[in-house]
């Protein structure tokens, strides 16, 4: 299927690397005008140049945990690129710890990005650009760890579980406005972030033993699903959590 998103405007948070960057690249290659949002001033311009090689893209330096700044950010994107048709919330962090080691500070840091920042990005884009026009597609990057428990992932699992339930609840609230909200739930994807975790042979074996295909996922595995969910071909799909996990959650 040749998915085309010509003249659509897409915002991607966490776009400077990993899954977010992969989504931004494929969205641009599919014809969308892409706003790359990230807090990393060093990697964001380099990422934007990569996306510009595929299509139209512009970068916006912003931390999604700065909630009061989100409305002005979206207003600026609308002025510079146009009304927002697609939002991909990929910004996320993880601080691996056993449950009894999690501190309040680390709990707040993870949830501020993964759940709170994501929710208010969803809300601001919906209020400003999607509800008034009664159209739009939001794709949240959840995780298989929002569907199952994971070793040293109590904090992360809780935050991604919140993403799963927020996605379902928003789908119910915003269906009258013809806004579709879905989430993808990837397994461990080979990215610069995951590479460091895989240096632990015990942890790597834990992953490979749980993925039925016994291999890591690729960024393109996620980006392709995101572009499909963003497209008109998925017009009857909302409130869905799509695992991209090589069978981990099937067991």
Domain boundaries, the chain: 9-250
95-150 pLDDT, tens digit each? 999 999 999 999 999 999 999 999 999 999 999 999 999 999 999 999 999 999 99
Burial class (CB in 10 A: 0-12, 13-18, 19+), 178: middle
- Asked if 56 and 34 count as a contact pair (C-beta separation under 8 A), the reply is yes
Q: Which CATH number applies to 9-250?
A: 3.40.50.720
Edge-to-edge order in the sheet of strand 136-141: 57-61, 33-38, 9-13, 86-89, 136-141, 179-186, 241-244
Q: How far apart are CA 183 and CA 72, in angstroms?
A: 25
Q: Would you place residue 193 in the very low, low, confident or very high pLDDT band (cuts 50, 70, 90)? A: confident
Q: Which of 60, 156, 177, 206 is catalytic?
A: 156
* 3-state DSSP assignment of residue 90: coil
Instruction: Show the tokens assigned to 223.
Output: 């980006």
Residue 140 CA neighbour count, 13 Å, CB half: 37
157-172 pLDDT, tens digit each? 999 999 999 999 999 9
Does the pLDDT value for residue 84 go beyond 90? yes
Active site residue 206: no
Report if pTM > 0.85. yes
Average pLDDT on 59-64 reads 98
Nearest Cα residue to 168 out of 72, 79, 82, 240? 240
Residue listed under structure tokens 């776009």: 15
Does the pLDDT value for residue 1 go beyond 70? no
DSSP string, 8-71: -EEEEESTTSHHHHHHHHHHHHTT-EEEEEES-TTHHHHHHHHHHTTS-EEEEE--TT-GGGHH
| Contacts for 11 with CB less than 8 Å, ≥ 6 apart | 34, 35, 37, 74, 77, 84, 86, 87, 88, 121, 125
């Amino acid at each position: 299927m040749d998915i085309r998103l010509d003249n659509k405007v897409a915002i991607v948070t966490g776009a400077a690397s990993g899954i977010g960057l992969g989504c931004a690249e494929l969205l641009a290659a599919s014809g969308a005008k892409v706003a790359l949002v990230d807090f990393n001033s060093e990697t964001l311009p380099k990422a934007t140049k990569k996306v510009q090689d595929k299509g139209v893209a512009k970068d916006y330096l912003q931390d999604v945990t700065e909630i009061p700044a989100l409305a002005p950010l979206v207003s600026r994107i609308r002025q510079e690129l146009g009304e927002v048709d697609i939002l991909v919330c990929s910004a996320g962090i993880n601080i691996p710890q056993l449950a009894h080691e999690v501190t309040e500070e680390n709990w707040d840091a993870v949830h501020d990005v993964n759940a709170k920042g994501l929710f208010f990005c969803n809300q601001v884009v919906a209020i400003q650009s999607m509800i008034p026009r009664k159209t739009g597609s939001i794709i949240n990057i959840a995780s298989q760890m929002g569907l199952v428990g994971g070793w040293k992932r109590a904090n992360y699992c809780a935050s991604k579980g919140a993403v799963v339930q927020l996605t379902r609840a928003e789908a119910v609230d915003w269906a009258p406005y013809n806004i579709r909200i879905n989430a993808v739930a990837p397994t461990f994807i080979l990215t610069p972030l995951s590479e460091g975790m895989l240096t632990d042979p015990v942890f790597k074996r834990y992953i490979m033993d749980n993925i039925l295909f016994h291999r890591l996922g690729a960024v393109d595995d996620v980006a392709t699903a995101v572009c499909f969910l963003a497209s008109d071909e998925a017009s009857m799909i909302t409130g869905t959590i799509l695992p991209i996990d090589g069978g981990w959650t099937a067991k």
